[in-house]
Amino acid sequence: MSTVTISAGLPARASTRSRRRAPVPSTRSAGPVGPLRLTRRGRLLATMVLLAGFLAGGVLLAGGLATAGTEPGAAATAQRITVTPGETLWSIAEREAPGTDPRDTVAEILELNHLQSSAVEAGSVLLLP
């Protein structure tokens, strides 16, 4: 007696002895690689880095152009003093500018220090013209 086997739609299997492995491509390149291709995200990143560089350069170049006051040379000629107990703007004006009218000097001190009144507290630091 002989036996016949019929498989329903299954592909025939080749024997394992006759099967050969396909060569695995090497991860190392032997020759030159083609041109670099950037993805959309890579182009966006490169653009942002370039823009940040230009912005930082502009800030560094323009930083030297800024001035502290509105009048040219106002910050360079002003000196600082600390108010001691019992001093008033009038006494400071008489001491610091002896040959001028104290009212003009007090007005300049008020304007330079952005003060609303002539009352000053001990320990306050004032800029003098």
| Residue-wise pLDDT tens digits, 65-111 | 665 555 555 555 678 889 999 998 899 989 988 888 989 999 999 99
CA distances from 41 to 36, 45, 101 (A): 14, 6, 70
DSSP track, 31-43: S--------HHHH
Whether 124 has a pLDDT exceeding 70, the answer reads: yes
- Distance CA(77)–CA(128), nearest Å, equals 9
- Which structural domains are found in the chain, ordered by start? 75-128 (3.10.350.10)
14: left (phi over 0), alpha (psi -120 to 50) or beta: beta
CA distances from 127 to 59, 69, 108 (A): 29, 12, 10
Q: Which tokens in the block code for residue 43?
A: 């182009």
